[in-house]
Chains A and B, each alone.
Chain A
Amino acid sequence: MPVTYIQAINQAMQEEMARDENVMLLGEDVGILGGAFKASEGLLERFGSERVLDTPISEALIVGAGVGLAIQGMRPILEMQFIDFIACGFDQIVNMAATLRYRHGGQTSCPIVIRGPCGAGVHGGVYHSQNPEAWFFHVPGLKVVAPATAHDAKGLLKAAIRDDDPVIYLEHKFLYRRIKEDLPEGDHVVPIGKAALRKEGRDLTVITYGSPVHAVMKAARDMASEVDIEVIDLRTLLPYDWKTIRESVTKTGKVLIIHEARLTGGIGGEIAARIAGDLFEYLDGPVMRLASKDTHNAFAGPMEEYIIPNQEKVTEAIRKLAAY
């Protein structure tokens, strides 16, 4: 039976909590309500209130307590009701969780997963549309993942829960109920650090992740007669899969990086610089980027469309690169 992206998240948590009694979930309204988006529906009933914990509105506490549980052998999943609220727990993530192992000289690890709904396209406005991955991409000690499919939503969450390092898991709320697919039977885990080659192609490479993966795939189909596009879905942003990027770019010689997070200071800049520095002799055109405009996530429909890299802009950017 086809499973939606958000059902995949729910399944991953249920399966991991059933597999390991030290896995638990903390967050605002995750228990009685089952989560603001129902990601944790049914967990309280199945696993009880000690393991599925409705916390007070205290993001620093959620992350900090998660660290305190992790050092005692637990594997907490920490939900940010909207990923925008992660800013309230920022210090506990970058100064506490990310440094924990390092400043203790390897005496401990910090197996926590911080997950929450990110992304625009649903008229969420300034505080319900953000894509904060670049904040954490800059922090050593963290891992950052951003699934684009129900398959990866489930497999990456299971991998994140089993990982001994702190993982930021960004689930795109636009995808929650818009996509569904049949998932593999059994213990389905997607390894952290491995990109997915969504489509092979000869003419140019598009590197993307999260919600724009779907716009890029549609463009690849629609434009098949004019350009043969290779599509890389990074899936893991930190550490990103350089091997897959390198192999693709050395083959096609042209690369476009697309993300919904805003342009300046975004992950695309780092990857572009690496490609320009390491693969210069393979390039047949400029390393291009398409991202949200450098402003806040405006609420009103036309403004939101103006900001985000929608289907039209994706097609246009591909066409521009193909012309080189």
Chain B
Amino acid sequence: MTEQKERELYFWLRLIREFEDRVSTLDRQGKIQGGVYSGKGQEAVVVGVCHALRSDDWIFPLHRDLGAFLVKGADPNRLMAQIFGRRDGFSKGKDSFLHGGDFSNCIFGATSMLGSTLPVAAGTAYKFKIKQEDRVAIAFFGEGASSRGDVHEAMNFAGIYKLPVVFLCENNFYAYSTPNELQFAVEDVASRAVGYGFKGDVCSGNDLNEVMKAARKAIERARTGDGPTFLECKTYRYHGHSEHDRATYRSEEELITWESRDPIERWEVYLEKRKYDIAAIKEEVGEKVKKIVDDAVAFAEASPVPEGPEAMEDLYATPITEG
């Protein structure tokens, strides 16, 4: 890996952390209405996967994958406007947080029915296959969503047609409050891949090098016609399910253990081992990401609040006219 790329990856990790921390702060200050779902602690997963993609590959992120939007190319200003419910957001104020995708960057909006985007990703991958486009679809989902029927239906279908799709499971050990032992009876969710006729792989979602290695393999497999991969990244969210959730269902010790595996600190250690001037990099990147996020907040705050009647727009492509 080139030094430039290693630094770039660091920039993305830090930008996501800065962005999400700021969103959490704004939420606490009452400046954001509606749910906020922090992916703090999980940054290496979205960076490792999305950085390995081409701009014309499609991603189907989760409600917690704000970082995936950024790495895939979404404008931070518009993303912040989206979170603020402003007219410049991807939803133009019609839905919250990550429910508005950015089609110009091949990003599909998340839903609240977790796992429901997997059949959509499979359909997109089917189109890539029959039109002989060497593009890939990445379907993100949590270990909790893996219990849903949509996930099974999508994987079964993708297995039959060897579709160019990666099923990317972010296993952060809790579905809202429900721990894995109450969600499924297997150790690794990816072990289910065998039942769909494709490869399952497990990696540490907090180790960017591991994620990149596994993601590259899965993406390559999809792009070259070798079919889907079930890639499970074990990780942890530092915050509750949403900012309103104090996560009393887990222990302080557990959180501390995972904080000691912080993906950004790990990457800093890696950069240090490469003999880079980590202090200087930290400072430079820190200033850069702070400015991007400051600008995004300023943009979002200046963006118009939609008018009430705009709620009736964008329902139909061919609008219904009354006689």
Q: Which residues of A contact B (CB under 8 A)?
A: 50-51, 55-56, 58, 60-61, 63-74, 76, 91-92, 95-96, 99, 101-111, 140-141, 143, 163-165, 192-193, 239, 241-244, 246
* Known contacts A101-B315, A239-B320: A58-B123 contact under CB 8 Å: no
* Supplied contacts A101-B315, A243-B323, 4 more A-B pairs, CB within 8 Å: A64-B118, A67-B123, A68-B119, A143-B316
Partner of A107, one of B99, B101, B119, B149: B101
Query: Is B113 at the interface (CB under 8 A from chain A)?
Result: yes
Interface centre among B90, B121, B137, B317 (most CB of A within 10 A): B317
Chain B residues within an 8 Å CB radius of A61 = 119, 122, 150, 153-154, 156-157
Cβ–Cβ contact A72 & B314, under 8 A: no
Cβ–Cβ contact B156 & A104, under 8 A: no
Number of interface residues of B (CB under 8 A): 50
Flag B121-151 by CB within 8 Å of A: 1 or 0 each.
1111111101000000100000000000110
Flag B294-323 by CB within 8 Å of A: 1 or 0 each.
000000000000000000011111101111
Which of B103-111, B227-235, B273-281 binds A? Answer: B103-111
Chain A residues within an 8 Å CB radius of B322 = 239, 242-243
Cβ–Cβ contact B120 & A104, under 8 A: no
Query: Is B91 at the interface (CB under 8 A from chain A)?
Result: yes
Q: Which residues of B contact A (CB under 8 A)?
A: 89-95, 99-104, 108-109, 111-113, 116-128, 130, 137, 149-150, 153-154, 156-157, 160, 313-318, 320-323
Chain B residues within an 8 Å CB radius of A101 = 314-317
Partner of A102, one of B94, B124, B160: B94
Cβ–Cβ contact A58 & B320, under 8 A: no
**In whole angstroms, what is the CA distance A92 to B94 when docked?**
19
Smallest distance from the beta carbon of B196 to chain A beta carbons, Å? 11
Partner of A92, one of B102, B119, B126, B318: B119
* 7 chain-A/chain-B pairs, Cβ below 8 angstroms: A56-B157, A58-B119, A66-B123, A68-B122, A101-B317, A109-B317, A243-B323
Closest to A238 in B: B320
Cβ–Cβ contact A106 & B92, under 8 A: yes
Cβ–Cβ contact B116 & A68, under 8 A: no
Cβ–Cβ contact A68 & B153, under 8 A: no
**In whole angstroms, what is the CA distance A239 to B319 when docked?**
10
**In whole angstroms, what is the CA distance A164 to B322 when docked?**
18
**In whole angstroms, what is the CA distance A50 to B131 when docked?**
10
**In whole angstroms, what is the CA distance A95 to B321 when docked?**
24
Interface centre among A74, A104, A140 (most CB of B within 10 A): A104
Chain B residues within an 8 Å CB radius of A55 = 157
**In whole angstroms, what is the CA distance A246 to B95 when docked?**
35
Chain B residues within an 8 Å CB radius of A72 = 123-124, 127-128
Chain B residues within an 8 Å CB radius of A96 = 111, 113, 116, 120
**In whole angstroms, what is the CA distance A238 to B154 when docked?**
30
**In whole angstroms, what is the CA distance A109 to B319 when docked?**
12
Cβ–Cβ contact B126 & A68, under 8 A: yes
Smallest distance from the beta carbon of B149 to chain A beta carbons, Å? 6
Closest to B125 in A: A68
Cβ–Cβ contact A60 & B314, under 8 A: no
**In whole angstroms, what is the CA distance A99 to B93 when docked?**
14
Closest to A101 in B: B314
